[in-house]
Amino acid sequence: MARKVERCSFCGREKSQTNVLIAGLDAHICDYCVNQAQTIIQEELATKTEHKFSRVNIQKPVEIRTYLDQYVIGQEEAKVVIAVAVYNHYKRIMQKPDPANDVEIEKSNIVLVGETGTGKTLLARTIAKLLKVPFCIADATVLTEAGYVGEDVESILSRLLQVADFNVAAAEKGIIFIDEIDKIARKGDNPSITRDVSGEGVQQALLKLLEGSVVNVPPQGGRKHPEQKMIQIDTKNILFIAGGAFDGIDKIIASRLRTNVIGYSYDKDLKTVDKSDIIQYISPADLKKFGLIPEIVGRMPVVSYLHPLNKETLRRILIEPKNSLVRQYIRLFEMDGIKLSFDEKVLDFIVDKSTAYKLGARGLRSILEGILTDAMYELPSSKTAKTLNVTLRYATDKFEKSGIAKLKVA
């Protein structure tokens, strides 16, 4: 009886014609068909990702500003600046080559300066949501020079690549928000004479990303090593938005504004300086004096500021945006069949506490959590409670028992 010849169930190759023939329950597949199947899967996944980020949803600056108004309260100057910069950036990407006009438009990377909780990250995230482009947030504090504990600068691009489902073409049109960029400032305006592995050294490494170049990126982030497979990404069309609190820069701005206050060159306009919101007078020179190297300042030409949040703005943040905190908690309780409501005085109480502790918009959520934690723990198991009206007395009692009440008032 002739022996049955094992062959691939897909292409029909005999075992002798293959390198590897993998056996299944009642079928076989050869290494050639495995490789072909892998190629088909990669193409299908790339097509789906391409569809997800198939086309940048370009909007006019006024339309971008209108969209931002739905999610970000206040910060009118920053909205206008970022809307114009983003619009010009994506016009630059989408322009068609014109042999008769060889004008090359450069990138307009952005620096947002403002206290914690004023909306820097929210602005960048909302812009990315509108444009339907890959967006990631990178923390500058973990970056160090090569050879030291921490992460390589290229790991920033790894995060963007992961968000884009490893579609390089989509990632190359994305937005990266570099948070806490002020933490990598060098210790003074003068170049360091010692090795500054998490400050000036990181800024130097960031230069090639900001200006636009082809960078070898480790797919999983972390440190690069010689045997690792790299993916090449061209950063010339990636928009970088950097944000930071720049604690202490107000003193630098004040010092600059008060120069020449004596003598014939005294500037009478200095009398109109608003000392309570001095960050609005920021300039690139102040960033350089704070500790950003001149090359970084030059490659991030758009500088904007975010005002400190006053009580009126904080109250609007609580109730007005599409995803306002009050609406979020009402929705959370709705999922358990509970109707949640707040007295007007409670909202004022939350705003007062956030202002007293100088926690910004982030503090509003912390305070709400402190007030509602007991209710969120008990009510889902209750068979009788169907409504919860938060009164001032209830809010005060729960807040005093929470951990946040133990913080020192600023």
290-314: pLDDT as tens digits: 989 899 999 998 899 998 888 899 9
Q: Is the pLDDT of residue 368 over 50?
A: yes
pLDDT reported for residue 140: 86
Q: Sorting pLDDT into bands at 50, 70 and 90, what band is 322?
A: confident
Q: Which residues contact 297 (CB under 8 A, 6 or more apart)?
A: 284, 287, 288
- The closest alpha carbon to 138, from 84, 95, 179, belongs to 179
Strands 214-217 and 231-234: antiparallel
Alpha-carbon distances, residue 36 vs 45, 48, 244 (angstroms): 14, 19, 48
Position 144, amino acid: T
Distance of CA 149 to the CA centre of its chain: 24
Q: Is the pLDDT of residue 31 over 70?
A: yes
Q: Is the pLDDT of residue 10 over 50?
A: yes
- What is the gyration radius of the CA atoms in the chain, in angstroms? 28
The two most distant CA atoms of the chain are separated, in Å, by 114
| 257-272: pLDDT as tens digits | 874 444 444 455 555 6
Q: Is the pLDDT of residue 193 over 70?
A: no
Q: Is the pLDDT of residue 351 over 70?
A: yes
* Rounded Cα–Cα distance for residues 360 and 355 (Å): 7
Mean pLDDT, the chain, rounded, equals 83
pLDDT reported for residue 345: 94
Neighbours of 374 (CB within 10 A): 14
Q: Select the more confidently predicted residue: 78 or 197.
A: 78
Q: Sorting pLDDT into bands at 50, 70 and 90, what band is 146?
A: low
Q: Sorting pLDDT into bands at 50, 70 and 90, what band is 410?
A: low
* Rounded Cα–Cα distance for residues 134 and 398 (Å): 41
Q: Is the pLDDT of residue 1 over 50?
A: no
| 198-252: pLDDT as tens digits | 678 788 888 888 888 898 888 776 566 666 688 889 999 899 999 998 988 888 8
* Rounded Cα–Cα distance for residues 183 and 187 (Å): 10
Strand segments (E) across 86-207? 110-113, 135-139, 175-179
Place of tokens 């602005």: 123
* Rounded Cα–Cα distance for residues 314 and 307 (Å): 12
Q: Is the pLDDT of residue 390 over 90?
A: yes
pLDDT reported for residue 263: 46
Concatenated DSSP letters of 196-228: -TTTHHHHHHHHHHHH--EEEE-TT-S---TTS
pLDDT reported for residue 33: 93
Specify the CATH number of the domain 311-406: 1.10.8.60
Percent of residues, the chain, with pLDDT higher than 90: 26
* Rounded Cα–Cα distance for residues 283 and 252 (Å): 10
Write down the domain spans for the chain.
Answer: 15-51, 61-96+105-305, 311-406
pLDDT reported for residue 101: 72
- The closest alpha carbon to 85, from 77, 73, 74, 97, belongs to 77
Specify the CATH number of the domain 61-96+105-305: 3.40.50.300
pLDDT reported for residue 264: 47
Predicted TM-score of the model (pTM): 0.74
| 85-123: pLDDT as tens digits | 888 888 888 877 777 777 778 888 999 998 887 888 888
**Terminal C-alpha separation, the chain:** 93
